């Protein structure tokens, strides 16, 4: 029987103390509020040992957090600073994150089960890159003017919106929350982050570390708890001006309803069920490599996973044989072992959800190619085998519903038009993958796919300048250069006459 490293041994190696409780962080201080607050245990996904207790922030604490953010914004200690004055503080934030990057990576791996190598190699660097990028955006952002009327000069400038509520997902809390946080801060806003109840420690420690940069009190606040309690109180709070959310589509709908009541700006990155299309003209070795990365990175718990694999008939047999053989040999285990390629699911309920979909697939008549069950050989932990099903009908639930794990459906197709029909027959449209060395195929398919991002002969690439977001039920708005600026600022027009005006004199008698 195998076992993962204990939380205490990880803490000893990386030099941090395991917390008894994870509270909120409001107005530059830990928010250890009333003992009557709801609390619940979080278990380490790799060992099932108690890791900490979450102290849920109720509506009263949420109000304190929003009030602190509003005071910070209205007071102007940050919002009215010039970009030149904000830059050194943002740089100090980056330095603080960098000093603690190994600690933060270890905490996130302990908390949600991601292999440490991936968190260190991608998540932490992207978190730093997010801040770096938006420093440069703010530094180069300018207004514009119009003089076409001849009589007036219209000056268009941008101002920060105010208080930004950021609701973070549990699967990659640091990298996904920091994208919106960095944009909000660089452009002059103050923030309240709502951490997922499954990953509050990562963000609590992150917010603590940001305060090492001597930021104004109330600029960045954190509240913890369930979406139905803490999240609801935050998105409905009248002091919130902007809502940024990364998570499930059902929750996104509720946020849209709430934002409509208060006429708030929203940016929503929601679910995905992304088609990964392999054509006869593909480089098969690259397509196998990329398709495994697309479904297994982040333990498969990511909205942009290539969870619907569509393979053209001419290469289907060879591709599927190689892909399944590789999938069976993926190294599953302790997130802190260097050789581990797939860690545990983040929590018990989610592992059961993924396993339930394996039963649903078999009930629908799909052919199990590998996996579909919990891993043998582990004393504890929420480990499952990478799972693949060959499916005939694209209307099957496992082809239409987001599973959010190392679980892929495989379908064959004959023509590009058939592949497009299968790919677009989905309520989601976040990303798609195309594998082909034939340029006309690539151009045609990329144009016709209903997805916010199309990756051609590559998995999971990102240019922070380019917009990222989804069609249909996959979201509302985008992250990226122009979209993030639009979300986190308000445009103001000031019209100036070019010469003194002769105005009509109303109410003057002859």
Tens of each residue's pLDDT in the chain, 510 residues: 568 999 999 999 999 999 999 999 999 999 876 455 789 999 999 999 999 999 999 999 999 999 999 999 999 999 999 999 999 999 999 999 999 999 999 999 999 999 999 999 999 999 999 999 999 999 999 999 999 999 999 999 999 999 999 999 999 999 999 999 999 999 999 999 999 999 999 999 999 999 999 999 999 999 999 999 999 999 999 999 999 999 999 999 999 998 888 899 999 999 999 999 999 999 999 999 999 999 999 999 999 999 999 999 999 999 999 999 999 999 999 999 999 999 999 999 999 999 999 999 999 999 999 999 999 989 899 999 999 999 999 999 999 999 999 999 999 999 999 999 999 999 999 999 999 999 999 999 999 999 999 999 999 999 999 999 999 999 999 999 999 999 999 999 999 999 999 999 999 976
C-alpha to C-alpha distance for 315 and 271, rounded to whole angstroms: 30
Question: Is 105 buried (19+), middle (13-18) or exposed (0-12) by CB count in 10 A?
Answer: buried
Q: For the chain, percent helix, then strand, then coil, each to nearest 5?
A: 40, 20, 35
**What residues are labeled active site?**
269, 303
Helix (H) or strand (E) run with residue 393 in it? none
**Are the C-beta atoms of residues 274 and 308 closer than 8 Å to each other?**
yes
C-alpha to C-alpha distance for 421 and 230, rounded to whole angstroms: 41
C-alpha to C-alpha distance for 345 and 149, rounded to whole angstroms: 61
Closest CA to 416 of 284, 277, 273: 277
Closest CA to 297 of 286, 287, 289, 308: 289
Tokens representing 33?
A: 């509020």
């Amino acid at each position: 029987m195998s076992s993962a490293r204990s939380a205490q041994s990880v803490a000893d190696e990386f030099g941090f103390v395991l917390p008894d409780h994870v509270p909120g962080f409001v107005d530059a201080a830990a928010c250890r509020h009333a003992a009557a607050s709801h609390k619940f245990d979080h278990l380490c996904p790799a060992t099932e040992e108690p890791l900490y207790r979450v102290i849920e922030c109720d509506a009263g604490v949420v109000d304190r957090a929003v009030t602190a953010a509003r005071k910070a914004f209205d007071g102007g200690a940050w919002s009215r600073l010039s970009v030149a004055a904000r830059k050194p503080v943002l740089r100090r934030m980056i330095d603080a994150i960098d000093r603690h990057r190994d600690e933060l990576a270890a905490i996130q791996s302990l908390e949600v089960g991601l292999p440490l190598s991936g968190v260190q190699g991608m998540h932490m660097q992207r978190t730093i890159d997010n801040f770096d990028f938006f420093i440069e955006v703010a530094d180069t952002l300018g207004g514009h003017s119009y003089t076409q009327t001849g009589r007036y000069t219209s000056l268009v400038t941008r101002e920060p919106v105010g208080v930004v509520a950021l609701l973070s997902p549990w699967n990659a809390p640091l990298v996904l929350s920091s994208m919106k946080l960095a944009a909000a801060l660089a452009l002059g806003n103050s923030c309240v982050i709502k951490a997922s109840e499954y990953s509050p420690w990562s963000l609590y420690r992150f917010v603590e570390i940001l305060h090492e940069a001597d930021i104004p009190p109330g600029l960045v606040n954190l509240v913890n708890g369930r979406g139905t309690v803490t999240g609801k109180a935050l998105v409905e709070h009248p002091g919130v001006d902007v809502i940024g959310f990364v998570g499930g589509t059902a929750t996104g709908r509720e946020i849209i309803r709430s934002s409509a009541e208060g006429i708030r700006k929203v940016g929503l990155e929601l679910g995905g069920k992304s088609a990964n299309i392999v054509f006869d003209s593909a480089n098969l070795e690259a397509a196998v490599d990329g398709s495994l990365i697309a479904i297994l990175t982040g333990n498969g718990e990511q909205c942009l996973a290539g969870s619907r694999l569509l393979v053209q008939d001419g290469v289907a047999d060879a591709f599927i044989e190689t892909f399944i053989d590789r999938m069976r040999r993926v190294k599953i285990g302790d997130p802190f072992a260097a050789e581990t390629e797939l860690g545990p699911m983040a929590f018990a309920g989610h592992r059961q959800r993924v396993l339930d979909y394996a039963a649903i697939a078999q009930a629908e008549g799909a052919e199990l190619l590998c996996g579909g069950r919990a891993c043998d050989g582990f004393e504890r932990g929420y480990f499952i085998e990478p799972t693949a099903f060959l499916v005939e009908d694209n209307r099957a639930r496992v082809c239409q519903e987001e599973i959010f794990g190392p679980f892929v459906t495989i379908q064959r197709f004959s023509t590009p038009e058939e592949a497009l029909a299968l790919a677009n027959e989905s309520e989601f449209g976040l990303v798609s993958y195309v594998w082909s060395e034939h340029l006309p195929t690539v151009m045609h398919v990329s144009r016709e796919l209903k997805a916010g991002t199309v990756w051609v002969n590559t998995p999971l690439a990102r240019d922070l300048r380019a917009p990222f977001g989804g069609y249909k039920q996959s979201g509302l708005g985008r992250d990226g250069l122009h979209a993030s600026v639009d979300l986190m600022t308000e445009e103001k027009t000031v019209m100036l006459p070019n010469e003194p005006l002769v105005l009509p004199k109303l109410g003057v008698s002859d």
